[in-house]
Structure 1
Amino acid sequence: MAHITLVLPYALPLPEFAPDLVRALDAPSLAALLSRGAVVRPAAASPLPSALPHEAWLARTLGLSADGRPAFANAAMRGLGLDPDGSAWHLVTPGHIQVARSHLMMADPRQLRLNDDDSLALFDSARLLCEELGHALVYGDAETWFLRADGWSFDIASPDTVVGMDLTDFMPKHVDARPFRRLQNEVQMAWHGHPANAAREARRLPAVNAFWVWGAGGEQTPKHAMSTYAAPGWLAALGERKLASLDKLAGALTNDGLLVAANLAEAAIAADWSAWLQGMQQLESALFAPLLAAVKDGRVRELRLVLSSREGLLESSTTPMAQRKFWRRPTLDALKAA
C-alpha cells in the first residue's frame, strides 16, 4: 500500500476570498479527504519571506535549504542534465518588470510564454556580460538559467514571492551587491530594443526586460523522488517525472511518492477566480476522486495533502480507517479557516 503526499500550491484560498470560493466549489471528494483525517495549519509566514509557504515546505522536505532559505539551484541544474562542477549556483528567471505608480513590480513569469528561440537569443547577450564579471551563465531551459554564485550568496526571494510586490523591498542592498546590481542594469540595457523583444512585442507578448536571481544552492540532492505537473522549469527539474496532462496524475500515484500539481498558480496570482475554480474542478475529477477511492479500498495507506496560498499552508492526512468515520460530515470548511 502506498504512502502519497500531494502538494497543491495556491489551492488554499486567501481568507478574504475563501467563503465565496468554497461556496462555489463542488468538490465532495476533497471535502471527504479533508474532513476525515487530521488537519494542521502551521504558523503564518513572515511579512517579507524569501519563499512562499509551499516553496519553504519543499525545501525542508527535499533537504534543499541553506541557512533556512531554499537552495534549489544546484539540484535543478542536475535535473536538467547540467554539471554544477562543485560550485554554488543561482537560479536565474527571465522576467518582465513594469513601473507601477510608485514602485517597480515584476509580472508573473508564466505570462511571458517564453520559448527556446527567444530565450536563447536573450541568454546569449546576457552571457557575455556575465562572463566579463567572471560569473558563468548557463542555459537550462527557456525559463530556467543558472548564474555561478561565487561571492554572490544573496538571500533573494523566489520569483513567485515578489510577483506584484514592491521590488525595492526584496533587492539586495549591501555593499557586496553593487557589482550584481550593475550587471542587472547592463543586461536590461542590452535587452532594450533587442530583436527578440521586438519580435515578441510584434506578437503582443511582454518584453523580457530583466532577470531575477535567487535560490543559490550547494551540493544537496533531493531526499525524495518527486513528480510534477504544470510546474515552472526549476521545480520540474527537481522531480524525476514531469507529467504532461491531468489524465496522467492518478497513474503517478500507484507507488510511494510526492507529487506537486501546480496548475492553479497562474490563475491565483492573477486573481482569476473563475479559472481557479475550473482548475480545482479538474483536480476534483482527475485526482481527488481517484485518490479517495484508493484510500477507501486500502490501495493508499496514508494520503497527505499540502495546500498553500501566498500567506499560509494547510497540511492534512487521512487513512482508510479515518475514511470509515461516516459520522464526520464531509465539508470544505478547512479551506476557510483563518
Structure 2
Amino acid sequence: MTHLDILVPFGLPPPEFANDLLRQLNLPALAALLAKSAPTLSTGNMNGEQFARALPHEAWVAERFGLSGRGSPAVASPVMHAAGQPPEAGYWFMLNPVHFHIAQDHIVLTDSRRLGLGEEESRQLFAMAAELFEEAGKPLRYGDAGTWFARADDWRGLQTATPDAASGRNIDIWMPSGDSARAWRKLQNEVQMHWFTHPLNARREAAGAKPVNSLWLWGGSEAQAGIAAGYTHGYGAATPWLRSLLTRLPQHAPAGTGSDLLANPPANGLLVLDELIEPALANDWGDWAARMESFERDWFAPLLEGLRSAKLDQLSLTLTNDGKSATFAATRHSLRKFWVKPSLARLAP
C-alpha cells in the first residue's frame, strides 16, 4: 500500500478573488484530482478563533506531528534537533529577526522571506542581542540567518503566534500574551533600541534593504519534545521550520518533481508544496497563479498518472488559505468516474 498526503498552503484562493483566478488557471490534472476525489474534511482556523495564532496549514502540521502548542505549534525543540543543536533541558522558543513597519495607526510585521538577511549580518545582530538576553537570564542559540532559539523556562505560559499568521497585520493582536508578556516586551524593546543605532541597519537602508528592527518569539516547547508523525517519507517544504520537521522523518528528500517521487513511492509520505505562501501574503496573485501552474506541471500531472498506473494507491490533497482548509482523497478507483468532468469548482468558496 502506497499513500501520499500533499499539503498546499494557500492552495485555496481568497474568496474575494477566487472566481477570477480560477477562470485564468489551466490546471487539468488538479481539476481531475479534485473533481474525482471525495471531500473528506473542511475546517476553519485552529480552535475556530477569529484571530488564530497559527494559519490552517500550520495547525494541520502541528496536529499530525503531535506539536500543538500555546497558539503557535510547539516546534522549537524539533527544529533545534534538526539543526544539530539538541536542547539539553528547559523550555525553548523560536526567535526570528524581523522588520516592523509603521502603517497609518499601527505597526505591521513584514514577511521575513523578503528581508534578505545574510549570514554575516545575522551573526552581528545575534551577538548584540545575545548579550542582552544573557543579562536577562535567557540564553540564545544561533540556528541560521533567519532562525535563532531562546531558552526561557519561566515563559512557558506565553501564548504566541507564528510569524506567517501575523505577517502583514497589526502586531498588537498577535504579540505574545500571558503573565510573562511584559517581561518579553521589555527585552524586545531593549534589543530594538540597540539595533536602531547599529551601523549594519544604516548600511542596509543605504542599499535599499529594510532594517532589521525587532524579533518575533513563537513556537515554545519543552527540550524533550519530539515528533509523533506516522509518515515514512517527507518531501519538499521551502519554509525552514516545516523543512526541519520533514528532515526528522525516517526519509526526507528535497523538492524535485512528481516523477522523482514515483521512482521510489513512499509507504506513507508527506509532500509539502509551500511556495504559494510568499505571493499570498504579499497579495501577488499573478505570481500565485504562475506558481500554481508550475505545481501542475511538476507535481499534479505526474502524480495523477502515478495514481492511474497504480504506482500510488491513495492520494490525499489538503489545500488551505488564511481562514480554512479542505482535504480531498483520491484513489485509482475514484479516477474511474468517467462521467465526472474535471473541474476546479471545489477551490471556489
> Helix, strand or coil: the match of 1:239?
helix
What are the equivalent positions in structure 2 for 1:29-178 lying under 5 Å apart?
A: 29-45=29-45, 46-66=49-69, 69-153=72-156, 154-178=158-182
Range with bigger deviation, 289-298 or 78-87:
78-87
> Helix, strand or coil: the match of 1:102?
coil
Tell me the alpha carbon deviations over residues 223-268 of structure 1, each in whole angstroms, 9 at most, x when there is no partner.
235535352222221122362x5x4454235213111111111111
Alignment root-mean-square deviation, CA: 1.7
Q: Whole-Å Cα distance in 2 between the matches of residues 173 and 293 of structure 1?
A: 48
Residues 317, 328 of structure 2: 8 Å contact kept: yes
How far did residue 114 of structure 1 move? 1.6
Residue 231 of structure 1: which of 220, 229, 238 is its match?
238
How far did residue 71 of structure 1 move? 0.5
> Helix, strand or coil: the match of 2:180?
helix
2:6 equivalent to 1:6: yes
Compute the TM-score of the two structures, normalised by the length of structure 2.
0.92
Residues 236, 242 of structure 1: 8 Å contact kept: no
How far did residue 140 of structure 1 move? 0.8
Range with bigger deviation, 215-224 or 81-90:
215-224
Gaps (5+ residues) in structure 2? none
Which residue in 2 is equivalent to 1:186? 190
Alignment size in residue pairs: 335
> Helix, strand or coil: the match of 2:93?
strand
How far did residue 63 of structure 1 move? 0.9
2:306 equivalent to 1:294: yes
How far did residue 121 of structure 1 move? 1.1
Gaps (5+ residues) in structure 1? none
What are the equivalent positions in structure 2 for 1:252-291 lying under 5 Å apart?
A: 252=261, 254-255=265-266, 256-291=268-303
> Helix, strand or coil: the match of 1:286?
helix
Q: Which amino acid aligns with 1:176?
A: S
Could you say if the C-alpha distance between residues 225 and 93 of structure 1 is closer, same or farther in structure 2, counting changes exceeding 3 Å? farther
Q: Whole-Å Cα distance in 1 between the matches of residues 210 and 258 of structure 2?
A: 32
- Identity over aligned pairs, percent: 39
Range with bigger deviation, 223-232 or 82-91:
223-232
Q: Whole-Å Cα distance in 1 between the matches of residues 198 and 261 of structure 2?
A: 42
Compute the TM-score of the two structures, normalised by the length of structure 1.
0.94
Residue 324 of structure 2: which of 312, 316, 321 is its match?
312
Residues 7, 318 of structure 2: 8 Å contact kept: yes
Q: Whole-Å Cα distance in 1 between the matches of residues 181 and 235 of structure 2?
A: 34
Could you say if the C-alpha distance between residues 226 and 202 of structure 1 is closer, same or farther in structure 2, counting changes exceeding 3 Å? farther
> Helix, strand or coil: the match of 2:43?
coil
Q: Whole-Å Cα distance in 2 between the matches of residues 42 and 138 of structure 1?
A: 39
Tell me the alpha carbon deviations over residues 243-299 of structure 1, each in whole angstroms, 9 at most, x when there is no partner.
2x5x44542352131111111111111111110010001000000000000000111
> Helix, strand or coil: the match of 1:70?
coil
Tell me the alpha carbon deviations over residues 80-131 of structure 1, each in whole angstroms, 9 at most, x when there is no partner.
1111113221111111001111111101111001221111111111111101
Q: Whole-Å Cα distance in 2 between the matches of residues 69 and 233 of structure 1?
A: 15
Which residue in 2 is equivalent to 1:24? 24
Range with bigger deviation, 230-239 or 260-269:
230-239
Q: Which amino acid aligns with 2:81?
A: R
Tell me the alpha carbon deviations over residues 296-315 of structure 1, each in whole angstroms, 9 at most, x when there is no partner.
01110100111110111011
Q: Whole-Å Cα distance in 1 between the matches of residues 167 and 29 of structure 2?
A: 32
